Structure formats: structure tokens, C-alpha cells
């Protein structure tokens, strides 16, 4: 595996045309990331994983500082899974140039996480836009756990006519249903159990919405039950159409329950 820290080295050694499958991460590689690597390798193209904790998508300096980092461990995992390239830029490498493409912000940027984390998705789109210009991949692999983020990146790529195809990948979960996340490292065992109860409760709500004609999504009652399960705070809990990310009461269509909640001070997101 070749490791790049400088943009110039990456650009010179991975020459055009680049048939690259790209997986952007903030490190803390977990089985969810590994599943993206495995799926990308099935295409029999070279796989590049970036490890970069982007300061511009954090709402507070404290959250940025405590974000879990272990790049040495990450690189060992990437090597184990035969990743071709790893890119570990610093802030200067990412933000010292002016991108050729602007940023397209779909109106959904103000909803869900965008409503509670001001500027978060601006930071995400900014860094992804820059990474795409540096790497120029044929494919970018993104998990569905953060479906809003995936949606915004896909719309940006489409609107700005960037020659990269988005490959959505299913959410990978622990046996207890909890979605893998870098932030799970900060949870204690009993808190993981609370997250598991949240997942199981919401999956049951979804089943009832599909099966029972008179069953409706009652946000207030659901929020009360989640608090009783041990959740400290809920930013949002909504039933949305997966394609448009708009509220729906048509439970025959492809929909999920989207949620952002806190266990202690740890914020978790999911769509179930």
C-alpha cells in the first residue's frame, strides 16, 4: 500500500486516466468502512482511502479535538484489506488551493442534521469537493447511514458535472442492531445497550407502519418512549421518503425513520 501525505506526490504517482475507487473517511476505521473497501475491490479497480479529520465540519473546537484518532491502527487495517493507496493530508494540503468547481447546496442542507449543526454540511461539501479534485476518482463509495450527507454529495456531483459516480453502500451494524460509527468508541457498554434498544424500538415502529393500516407515526409518543429507554436528548426523529428525504405518510413507499439523538454527550445518527 502506498501512503501519500502530499497532494503533489499523489497527483504525480497516480496519473490520468485514473480508474480509482475512492473512500473518504475521517479515520477510526471500523467494519462499516471495511465493507466499503471490500465492495470497491470487487470492481477490480485500485482503491484509495483518505484519512482526514476535517475541522470545518465540526460545530465546536472541543468536539473536533476529542474526535477519535488512531491513524497507525487505521493504516494497519487498510493494509490487511489490501487497500492500494492511503491519503493522509493535513489542513494546509486540503485548503491551500482554490477548487475549480464551486459547491452546490441542495435545499435539504437546512433540514435534519443541517438544522441542528449549522455549517456542518458546508464543511462536508467543501472538503469532498476538494478531495474529488485531487483524486479525480471514477467512483466514490459512501455509506447510507448518513443518507442526508450521501444525498447532498450526490446532488453536488450531479449539479457541478463532476465525472465521478456515487456508489451508495448499505449500513453495517453490530449484532445488536447498532450502526457502526467512529463515535461508538466513546460509548460505554451500557450505553451501547441503550443504542441497541433504540434501534429495536424503531425497527418495530417501522414494521407496524408497514403492516397496520391505522398505525401512524406519532413523533411525540416515540420521543417520550426513547427518553424512557435512556436517550438524553433528541434532535429529530422523522419518517421520510428515502428518495426525496421529505416527510411521508405513505408507508407503502420506500421510507426510513431518520433520527439524531444523544446518549450522554455522544450524538448518534441513523436511518432505519
DSSP labels, the chain: -EEE-SHHHHHHHSPSS--EEEEEE-S---HHHHHHHHHHHTTTSEEEEEE---GGG-S-HHHHHHS---HHHHHHHHHHTT-SEEE---HHHHHSS--SS-----GGGGSTHHHHSTTHHHHHHHHHHHHHHHH--SEEEEESTTHHHHHHHHHHHHHTT-S-EEEEEPPPB-TTSPBP-GGGGG--HHHHHHHHHHHHHHHHHHHHHHH-TT----HHHHHHHHHHHT--EEEEEEEEETTT--B---TTSSEEEEEEEEETTEEEEEE-
Mention the CATH class of domain 2-169.
alpha beta
Q: Cis before residue 17, ω within 30 degrees of 0? A: yes
CA distance linking residue 242 with residue 217, whole number of Å = 16
> Residue 17 has what pLDDT?
61
Report which of 35, 18, 144, 32 is spatially closest to residue 85, judged by C-alpha positions. Answer: 18
As a whole number of Å, the end-to-end CA separation of the chain is 35
Residues 154-208 have pLDDT tens digits of 999 999 999 999 999 999 999 999 999 998 988 999 999 999 999 999 999 999 9
How far apart (Å, rounded) are the C-alpha atoms in residues 152 and 177? 26
- Cβ neighbours around 97 below 10 Å, total: 12
- Cα–Cα distance between 272 and 34 in angstroms, integer? 21
- For CA atoms 172, 122, 131, 17, the dihedral sign is positive
- pLDDT of amino acid 235: 98
pTM (whole model) above 0.85: yes
Domain extents for the chain?
2-169, 182-271
Label residues 193-214 b or e (16+ Cβ within 10 Å = b). bbbbbbbebbeebbeebeeeee
Q: Which residue carries 465546536 as its cell?
A: 60
**If one looks up domain 182-271 in CATH, what number appears?**
3.30.1300.10
For the chain, which ranges sit under pLDDT 50? none
Q: Supply the residues annotated as catalytic.
A: 33
Amino acid at each position: 500500500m502506498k501512503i501519500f501525505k502530499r497532494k503533489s506526490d499523489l497527483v504525480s504517482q497516480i496519473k490520468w486516466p485514473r480508474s480509482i475507487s475512492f473512500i473518504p473517511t475521517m479515520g477510526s476505521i471500523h467494519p462499516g468502512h471495511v465493507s466499503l473497501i471490500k465492495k470497491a475491490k470487487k470492481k477490480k479497480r485500485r482503491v484509495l482511502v483518505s484519512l482526514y479529520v476535517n475541522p470545518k465540519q465540526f460545530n465546536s473546537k472541543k468536539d473536533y479535538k476529542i474526535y477519535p484518532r488512531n491513524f497507525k491502527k487505521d493504516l494497519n487495517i487498510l493494509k490487511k484489506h489490501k487497500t492500494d493507496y492511503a491519503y493522509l493530508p493535513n489542513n494546509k494540503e486540503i485548503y491551500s488551493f482554490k477548487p475549480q468547481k464551486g459547491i452546490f447546496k441542495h435545499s435539504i442542507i437546512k433540514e435534519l442534521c443541517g438544522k441542528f449543526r449549522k455549517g456542518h454540511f458546508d464543511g462536508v461539501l467543501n472538503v469532498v469537493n476538494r478531495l474529488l479534485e485531487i483524486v479525480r476518482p471514477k467512483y466514490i463509495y459512501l455509506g447510507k447511514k448518513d443518507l442526508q450527507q450521501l444525498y447532498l454529495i450526490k446532488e453536488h456531483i450531479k449539479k457541478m458535472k463532476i465525472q465521478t459516480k456515487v456508489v451508495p453502500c448499505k449500513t453495517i451494524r453490530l449484532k445488536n442492531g447498532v450502526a457502526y460509527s467512529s463515535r461508538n468508541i466513546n460509548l460505554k457498554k451500557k450505553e451501547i445497550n441503550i443504542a441497541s434498544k433504540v434501534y429495536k424500538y424503531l425497527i418495530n415502529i417501522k414494521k407496524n407502519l408497514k403492516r397496520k393500516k391505522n398505525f401512524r407515526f406519532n413523533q411525540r409518543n416515540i420521543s417520550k418512549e426513547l427518553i424512557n429507554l435512556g436517550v438524553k436528548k433528541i434532535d429529530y426523529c422523522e419518517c421520510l421518503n428515502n428518495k426525496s428525504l421529505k416527510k411521508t405518510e405513505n408507508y407503502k413507499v420506500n421510507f426510513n425513520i431518520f433520527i439524531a439523538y444523544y446518549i450522554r454527550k455522544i450524538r448518534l445518527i441513523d436511518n432505519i
